[in-house]
Structure 1
Amino acid sequence: MSKFATSDRTAARDSAANAWVLLQTLWVGGIWTLHFLVLPGLAGVGLAPLLIEEVARALVPQMVGVTLGVALLQLLLLIRRYGWSAPWRVRSGQLLLAVLAISLAFLVSLMLWPQALRWQLFSYLLLAFFGVLLVLQPVPRKAVAADPQVG
């Protein structure tokens, strides 16, 4: 056995699971951090409310765009792990499909209906909620017993 982690079979097998957790942390943590820490923190510092709204108007769509891209990557990891029926069969896939739909709806509403601030806030908070539900799901991994190399 080599001393490098890239040559270890278990490390290679778990790389998709590690990527899943990293991607999930990126978008779920980003949504929660922005909405519940950064924006209230700016208000707590004493910045003008209009300035905080401008910051939110710039950062929230970017965070939703990141969510859309990362959720697509997670969906590809899920399909690679469980097959093409995974988005409909596995609960994580169903949640990711909902996240993709809500993200697209949010971004389309920004272009077609920019005055719908309550809809955009609702969509953003729904993404945060679905993110927490996705975090509570088990990480997709290959079954150890099915691997002929283990044992």
Structure 2
Amino acid sequence: MSKSATSDRRLLSRAGVMAWQLAQAFWVGGLWLLHFVVLPALDRIGLAPLLVEMVAGSLRPLLVAFAGFCTLVQALLLIQAVGATSLWRDLRGQLLLVAIALSAVFLLTRLWAPTALFWLNFSYLLLALCGLILVVQAAPSRAASGRAR
């Protein structure tokens, strides 16, 4: 194997780790920022509570759908790093699968039962908690998993 092929493989591994971290920062940071910074700030500056709820009602589904997309990207990167069979045994894979399921539950609940505010808030906050637990896990890399080809 030539030296350039080895360095290309390392760049791919670094690119995968960077894509993992970028996707994670977008969806986890976005969920936490919206719920704990933006909406309380809108409430604090004196906007009407109904207006704050309208903003939350329009931004949360978009952010949860984006989180679902980002978790799918992260799951594909994890499959590339550790393999598809190890996805169920890896804590990161389990958290990603739960996050994908919670995104789907949130969006389906919003579609079929939009007045079920408890389940919408519960799935949103549980999704944010899964993201927070995922943040403290190490990013996957081919070299660390022993699957470098």
Unaligned ranges ≥5, structure 1: 1-6
Partner in structure 1 of residue 35 of structure 2: 35
Alpha-carbon distance, 1:85 to partner: 1.3
Partner of 2:56: helix, strand, or coil? Answer: helix
Q: CA–CA distance in 2 between the matches of 1:124 and 1:67? A: 10
Matches of 1:53 and 1:45, distance apart in 2: 14
In 1, distance between residues paired with 2:52 and 2:41? Answer: 10
Question: Where do residues 1-151 of structure 1 align in structure 2 (5 Å cutoff)?
Answer: 10-143=10-143
Q: Against the structure 1 CA distance between its residues 45 and 138, is the aligned structure 2 distance closer, same or farther, given a 3 Å change threshold? A: same
Q: How many residues align?
A: 143
1:42 Cα offset (Å): 0.3
Q: Label 1:65 to 1:46 Cα distance change in 2 as closer, same or farther (>3 A).
A: same
Amino acid at match of 1:33: L
C-alpha RMSD of matched pairs (Å): 2.0
1:36 deviation in Å? 0.3
User: Aligned-pair distance for 1:83?
Assistant: 1.0
| TM-score using structure 2 length | 0.89
Give the % identical residues: 46
Provide Cα deviations, 1:100-140, integer angstroms capped at 9, x if missing partner. Answer: 11110110001111110011001100011100100011110
Q: Aligned-pair distance for 1:146? A: 5.3
Q: TM-score, normalised by structure 1?
A: 0.88
Q: Relative contact order, CA 8 A, sep 6+: which one is greater?
A: 2
The verdict on how the C-alpha distance between 1:95 and 1:51 changes in structure 2, with shifts beyond 3 A counting, is: same
Q: Which runs of 4+ in 1 moved over 3 A?
A: 7-12, 144-149
AA partner of residue 92 (structure 2): S
1:13 Cα deviation after fit:
2.5
